[in-house]
């Protein structure tokens, strides 16, 4: 007697569907669940925030979400003849800070790449520069910002120097470690084919080091972003850090919270852009 397996209609449809379609549906379903969880988490945080504001009844200590929203409207428009906050709209404060972060991060990342490649390929340079890079990485930004102010004054120069120096060590350390750890067998094979030192670095070492370099870049941008408030403590208006600093002096907690939210949300956006670039440039990362 032959047993004929029965297939229910839903199972038959699933079996006939191309594997890629099934995988796409599962991926979309997973993204939907993650989005729902994030929205629920944001809603829960807002609810807890509102509850804390109601219980404390002290807007100087914990401003309510609607107070921060009102401050957002005020700093983004002209009201009572005043333009935004200290004569600049919120988006202008944020734009100036982002420009400073961009310039400082680019300078720090490029310098960190050069230093890291040299450290990873030249032994005596690594011995000499590694303690210096570690020393600079251990210093808090405000420690050398005061020195930059003495040297360069209170305009843009000390701020950009601060952000550049803050962004350099993570990239230098990550690049040096990745370059130094390049597969020796692959390097020797390319050299056996007649490649010179620069060709080996360009075609073998750097592509192999890209994942670690991108990790260093993301860390560097994050450190530069967190350092912008310190950089804008002196003559920082316009600038989101300067706005927060001025609001703190006058106990304007709602403005301080608004500035922190602007910094955090724009930081999330920048990190998402970096992760997107990383996924495009090194799609093999994280795959076995």
Q: What gap in Å lies between CA 66 and CA 48, rounded to an integer? A: 13
Q: What is the pLDDT of residue 27?
A: 64
Q: Is residue 73 part of a domain?
A: no
236 half-sphere exposure, CB direction, 13 A CA radius: 24
Q: Does 166 share its domain with 31?
A: no
Measure the CA angle with vertex 24, ends 21 and 30; round to 5°: 145
pLDDT tens digits, one per residue of 208-224: 888 888 889 999 998 88
Q: Does 16 share its domain with 106?
A: no
Number of domains the chain is built from: 2
What are the structure tokens assigned to 17, written together?
């569907």
Q: Which domain holds residue 42?
A: 1-57
Higher pLDDT, 112 or 21: 112
| Reported pTM | 0.78
Measure the CA angle with vertex 234, ends 149 and 237; round to 5°: 135
Average pLDDT value for residue range 270-277: 88
Q: Is residue 68 part of a domain?
A: no
Among 171, 146, 172, which Cα is nearest to 159's? 146
- Residues facing 88 on adjacent strands: 85
Q: Does 35 share its domain with 114?
A: no
pLDDT tens digits, one per residue of 137-157: 888 877 888 889 999 988 889
Average pLDDT value for residue range 60-74: 90
Q: What is the pLDDT of residue 288?
A: 44
Tallying the residues shown for the chain, one arrives at: 288
Q: Does 51 share its domain with 116?
A: no
Q: Is residue 121 part of a domain?
A: yes
Locate tokens 């994942």: which residue? 211
């Amino acid at each position: 007697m032959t047993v004929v397996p029965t297939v229910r209609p839903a199972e038959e449809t699933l079996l006939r569907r191309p594997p890629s379609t099934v995988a796409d549906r599962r991926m979309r379903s997973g993204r939907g669940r993650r989005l729902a969880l994030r929205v629920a988490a944001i809603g829960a945080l807002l609810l807890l925030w509102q509850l804390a504001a109601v219980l404390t009844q002290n807007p100087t200590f914990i401003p309510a979400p609607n107070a921060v929203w009102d401050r957002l409207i005020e700093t983004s428009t002209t009201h009572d003849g005043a333009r935004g906050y200290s004569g600049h709209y919120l988006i202008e404060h944020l734009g100036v800070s982002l420009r400073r972060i961009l310039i400082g991060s680019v300078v720090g990342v490029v310098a960190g790449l050069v230093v890291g490649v040299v450290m990873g390929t030249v032994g005596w340079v690594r011995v000499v520069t590694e303690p210096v890079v570690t020393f600079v990485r251990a210093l808090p930004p405000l420690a050398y910002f005061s020195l930059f102010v003495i040297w360069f004054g209170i305009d843009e120069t000390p701020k950009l120097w601060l952000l550049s120096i803050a962004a350099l060590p993570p990239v230098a350390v990550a690049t040096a470690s990745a370059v130094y750890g390049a597969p020796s067998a692959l390097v020797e094979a390319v050299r056996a084919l007649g490649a010179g030192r620069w060709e080996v670095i360009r075609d073998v070492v750097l592509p192999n080091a890209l994942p670690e370099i991108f990790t260093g870049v993301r860390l560097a941008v994050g450190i530069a972003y967190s350092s912008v408030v310190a950089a804008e403590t002196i003559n920082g208006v316009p600038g989101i850090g300067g706005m927060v600093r001025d609001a703190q002096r006058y106990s304007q907690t709602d403005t301080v919270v608004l500035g922190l939210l602007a910094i955090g949300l724009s930081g999330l956006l920048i990190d998402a852009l970096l992760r997107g670039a990383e996924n495009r440039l090194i799609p093999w990362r994280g795959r076995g």
